[in-house]
């Protein structure tokens, strides 16, 4: 039995049973049959249907925003922004899917030969709770536009969002089974991946989950795309606009109460500007008001689950025991709900959880550096490689540093964000494969060579 718990109160708001073995078997068999029919639908129709999805998202924006807020504790303004981005994604692929999937022939290919992009079949998406609509749409929209069907195994604390998404696509006119939600226990996932109908798996989640899914899929020789954790470093150079850097780092770190893979987690600050930057950072944090996320006056909500907050406190306590200093926050407050205050740790260094691990919550780690070389060395001293940032008024210096950082995306004088038009993903233990743009829609297709003799 899966429980949806309101993080602001700790109260259970819904319970959803896991699928029985018989129901799951029937769903998988139906998925294979549906995939064959959906693949024959012309790509232009598949693309145009996304306009209807976008329109429904906009019509149900307030209803879905409150659902997101109640299940994960996200402030309403952030929940609305998440839904708006989903609608933009639908319209982006409605406009570009046909061109992205068009067969290619050019002078670079042998005469009479072309490359086509055809559907693989059923793709399983294992999605996280932190962006319960966006993560699913980022997976499902290009998968469906490419002619595949999608099975959704969502996080167990957002069953309401999962059902709402499935219903939304059906209301938009998609055939039943093109996007199907599976309520699975962990021990049921392996059999789904191994099922003959499933041709690929996309997972956004933890490093542990990604490794397990990759191993299962590897044994079955099935394609995977993994977007895993991150410990994103942001380099604050001595010539940076400190007001801008502090504002952008706080905006990144406190988005979704710090529960995002691409937030600014480790701030590597040149010693020469460490003190003034820290002052500006704390001043920016003070502008945030934490409280009930359904109250429009609050722009910082609770964490999503009690266990996540407990693990965050463990990381803070262990880092302090190893020599870090708490400049702000750092303790679980009294009262109902899973709130955790925005916190700042100074004197963070390798060997501490605040440096070595992914810290999934509103905790900023300050790391002092003497020069660019040391900053790059410490930035890359991580098992993760998702995003990174560089703040400097010398753009060429910023580009040079960006090219030295081991990550899938680096933003200069801004915080890392996903853009519909750009590939998104990481390296090292942050995963592999890319989502969004033409790179994302071509991950789960058969790149087929066709030649005429």
Nearest to 338 by CA among 307, 303, 372, 312: 303
What is the SS3 assignment for 178? coil
| Residue 288: burial class (beta carbons within 10 Å; 0-12, 13-18, 19+) | middle
The contacts of residue 222 (CB under 8 Å, 6+ apart) are: 193, 198, 199, 200, 201
Nearest to 118 by CA among 452, 451, 444: 444
Half-sphere exposure (Cβ direction) of 252: Cα atoms closer than 13 Å: 29
Whether 51 sits among the annotated catalytic residues: the reply is no
Whether 3 sits among the annotated catalytic residues: the reply is no
Distance, in Å, from the CA atom of 167 to the CA atom of 332, rounded to the nearest integer, reads 38
Token readout for 56 is 């429904």
Q: Is the dihedral of CA 334, 335, 340, 344 positive or negative?
A: negative
**Strand 266-270 versus strand 409-412 pairing type:** unpaired
Q: Which among 249, 261, 407, 410 is annotated as catalytic?
A: 261
Half-sphere exposure (Cβ direction) of 11: Cα atoms closer than 13 Å: 4
Nearest to 205 by CA among 132, 134, 129: 129
CB atoms within 10 A of CB 397: 15
Distance, in Å, from the CA atom of 239 to the CA atom of 394, rounded to the nearest integer, reads 8
Q: Which among 71, 78, 227, 357 is annotated as catalytic?
A: 227
Distance, in Å, from the CA atom of 281 to the CA atom of 415, rounded to the nearest integer, reads 14
**Strand 384-385 versus strand 427-428 pairing type:** antiparallel
Token readout for 204 is 């956004």
- Residues belonging to the active site: 227, 261
């Amino acid at each position: 039995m899966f429980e949806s718990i309101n993080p602001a109160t700790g109260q259970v708001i819904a319970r959803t049973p896991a699928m029985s073995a018989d129901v799951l078997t029937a769903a998988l068999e139906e998925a294979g049959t549906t995939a064959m029919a959906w693949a024959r639908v012309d790509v232009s129709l598949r693309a145009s249907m996304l306009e209807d999805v976008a329109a429904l998202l906009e019509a149900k924006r307030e209803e879905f925003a409150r659902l997101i807020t109640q299940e994960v504790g996200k402030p309403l303004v952030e929940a609305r922004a998440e839904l708006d981005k989903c609608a933009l994604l639908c319209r982006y692929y409605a406009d570009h899917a046909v061109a992205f999937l068009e067969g290619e022939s050019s002078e670079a290919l042998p005469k009479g030969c072309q490359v086509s992009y055809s559907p693989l079949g059923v793709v399983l998406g294992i999605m996280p709770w932190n962006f319960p609509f966006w993560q699913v749409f980022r997976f499902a929209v290009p998968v469906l536009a490419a002619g595949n069907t999608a099975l959704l195994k969502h996080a167990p604390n957002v069953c309401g969002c999962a059902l709402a998404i499935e219903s939304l696509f059906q209301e938009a006119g998609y055939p039943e089974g093109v996007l199907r939600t599976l309520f699975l226990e962990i021990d049921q996932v392996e059999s789904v991946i191994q099922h003959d109908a499933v041709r690929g798996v996309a997972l956004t989640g933890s490093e542990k989950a990604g490794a397990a899914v990759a191993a299962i899929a590897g044994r079955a020789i099935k394609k995977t795309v993994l977007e895993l954790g991150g410990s994103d470093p942001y380099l604050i150079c001595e010539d940076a606009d400190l007001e801008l850097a502090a504002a952008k780092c706080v905006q990144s770190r406190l988005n979704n109460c710090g529960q995002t893979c691409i937030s600014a987690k480790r701030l590597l600050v040149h010693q020469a500007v460490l003190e003034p930057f820290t002052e500006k950072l704390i001043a920016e944090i003070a502008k945030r008001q934490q409280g009930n996320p359904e109250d429009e006056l609050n722009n910082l909500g609770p964490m999503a689950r009690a266990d996540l907050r407990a693990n965050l406190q463990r990381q803070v306590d262990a880092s302090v025991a190893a020599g870090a200093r708490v400049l702000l926050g750092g303790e679980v407050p009294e009262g109902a709900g899973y709130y955790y205050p925005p916190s700042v740790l100074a004197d963070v260094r390798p060997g501490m959880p605040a440096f070595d691990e992914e810290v999934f919550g509103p905790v900023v780690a300050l790391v002092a550096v003497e020069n660019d070389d040391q900053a790059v060395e410490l930035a890359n001293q991580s098992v993760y490689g998702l995003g990174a940032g560089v703040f400097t008024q010398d753009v060429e210096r910023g580009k040079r540093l960006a090219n030295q950082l081991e990550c899938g995306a680096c933003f200069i004088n801004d915080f890392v964000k996903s853009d519909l038009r750009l590939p998104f993903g990481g390296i090292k233990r942050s995963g592999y494969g890319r989502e969004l743009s033409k790179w994302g829609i071509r991950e789960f297709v058969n790149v087929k060579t066709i030649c005429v003799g």
